[in-house]
Amino acid sequence: MDLVEAYAAAAARAGELIAATRPDQLESSTPCRTWTARELVNHIVAGQYMLAGAASGAPQPDMSAGTPDFAGGDAVGAQRDARSAAAAAFADPGLGDRMAELPFGTLPAGMVPGLACFEQVVHGWDLAHATDQEPAMPAEVVEVLFPFAEQLLANAPRDGAAFAAVVDLPAGAPVLDRLIALSGRRP
């Protein structure tokens, strides 16, 4: 399994979590300090569209009006459509030949599937915790993602905004717990 395949599996699982989120849970708080479950669902969906566009070489969209409220409509359908758009962008044979413009900088487009997978796994976990669901992600997804995440977060600011300090876990902790701890969340 590579990161493109891992992304597809993680996005499918995130879609299941979105589908199982009840309307009365959308205002629940999440491990993302300032986001409700509604805002988190919107971020999960919008992030895939943004990463698909970036991987395709498109400029970043104007988000001055804010993120659309995907959770207020057919969130499951929006997640499915965003996942399809990202999968198509990640399957493009020219992916490795271009750069991707993202809000935090420009990087090789070949890294975008890993970013997308990381987003789906971590924010899927966040949504699961906010809505009392099982946060499980396929083990092979997390195994493939973990080395990428270590590299990605090696020099990430740990200011508590996007990422808090790495949480220490006992030796032998499950790989999903280690990945979540790497992002600064307490599993």
pLDDT in tens, 155-180: 888 886 678 889 999 989 999 999 99
Distance of alpha carbon 48 from alpha carbon 39, whole angstroms: 14
Cα distance between residue 75 and residue 77, in whole Å:
5
Higher pLDDT, 160 or 39: 39
Mean pLDDT of 125-132: 97
- Hey, which bits of 19-171 come out as E strands? 99-102, 105-108
Question: 171, 177 in Cβ contact below 8 A?
Answer: no
**How far is residue 138's CA from residue 1's CA, in Å, rounded to a whole number?**
12
pLDDT score, position 87: 96
pTM of the model: 0.94
pLDDT of residue 100: 95
Model pLDDT, residue 163: 83
Mean pLDDT calculated for residue range 143-151: 97
> 166 phi and psi, to 5 degrees?
-60, 135
Q: Please report the beta strands in the chain, taking only residues with DSSP state E, as ranges in sequence order.
A: 99-102, 105-108
Q: How confident is the model over 57-107, as pLDDT tens digits?
A: 988 877 778 888 988 899 999 999 999 999 999 999 999 999 999 988 899
Considering the segment(s) 3-142 as one domain, its CATH architecture is Up-down Bundle (1.20)
Q: CA triplet 4, 134, 89: central angle to 5 degrees? A: 20
